[in-house]
Amino acid sequence: MKSSLIKITKTAVALLAMVAAGGLLVGAFHSETATAQNIKLSQNHCSNATLEGAYAFRISGESFSSGSTVSVYNDGVAMTTFNGDTGPDGNGTLTQVDWIMRNGVSDPEPPATENSYGFHNNESGTYKVNADCTGNAEIDFASTGAVIKLKFVLADGGRVIHTIVTSLQPTGAFSVPTNTHSDAEKL
């Protein structure tokens, strides 16, 4: 009986030692992972240079005439090229071509210009990326005078962008209430 008790005690001690060692090992891996993640997050800061190159956008939403009455459903695509530069005002510059459907009807086709391929062009603007990968952009439509202001968040190291329109100001009009967003991937 004494020998059985000693065997059980030795087995229990060995089992406890293995559990403790396993716990230390798991803790070590967990600590290493947490440390690596913290380092990665602290080094993952964004700037205008993070948002550079051509991005393919899918645009969707609606604009309202008064209160909550939808007057226009918007659906479209755009290709925006972010220049990744920073001017004296801290903003980067962008150019864009797009094609938008409003209530199921395409916008009037723009006048034929070299390399427009039927898309609306002559759109430009500015953007500013914050260190936390959020930002602001403004798109100016030279042919109509319309202005769109956006808030955005970058993801996947700047390869993905999610936007929301904060202000839609048609030509010569006050800002129109809108619920429009877009998502894009770097080409």
64 shares a domain with 26 = no
33 shares a domain with 55 = no
Q: What angle do CA 100, 146, 169 make, to 5 degrees?
A: 95
**Max mean pLDDT range (12-21, 158-167, 171-180):** 158-167
pLDDT in tens, 41-90: 445 699 999 999 999 999 999 998 776 788 899 999 999 999 988 888 88
Domain hosting 38: range is: 1-43
Secondary structure string (H, E, C) spanning 80-116: EEEECCCCCCCCEEEEEEEEEEECCEECCCCCCCCCC
- Tally of structural domains, the chain: 2
CATH number of the domain where residue 143 is located: 2.40.128
69 shares a domain with 21 = no
pLDDT in tens, 111-153: 666 566 778 888 999 999 999 999 999 999 988 889 999 999 9
Inform me whether the pLDDT recorded for 93 exceeds 70.
yes
134 shares a domain with 57 = yes
67 shares a domain with 24 = no
Inform me whether the pLDDT recorded for 185 exceeds 80.
yes
| Residue 16 confidence (pLDDT) | 36
| Residue 43 confidence (pLDDT) | 55
Inform me whether the pLDDT recorded for 22 exceeds 50.
no
* Residues linked to residue 102 through DSSP beta bridges, in sequence order: 74, 105
Burial of 132 (0-12, 13-18, 19+ CB in 10 A): exposed
52 shares a domain with 143 = yes
Percentage with pLDDT > 70 across the chain: 72
52 shares a domain with 31 = no
142 shares a domain with 120 = yes
62 shares a domain with 154 = yes
159 shares a domain with 131 = yes
84 shares a domain with 6 = no
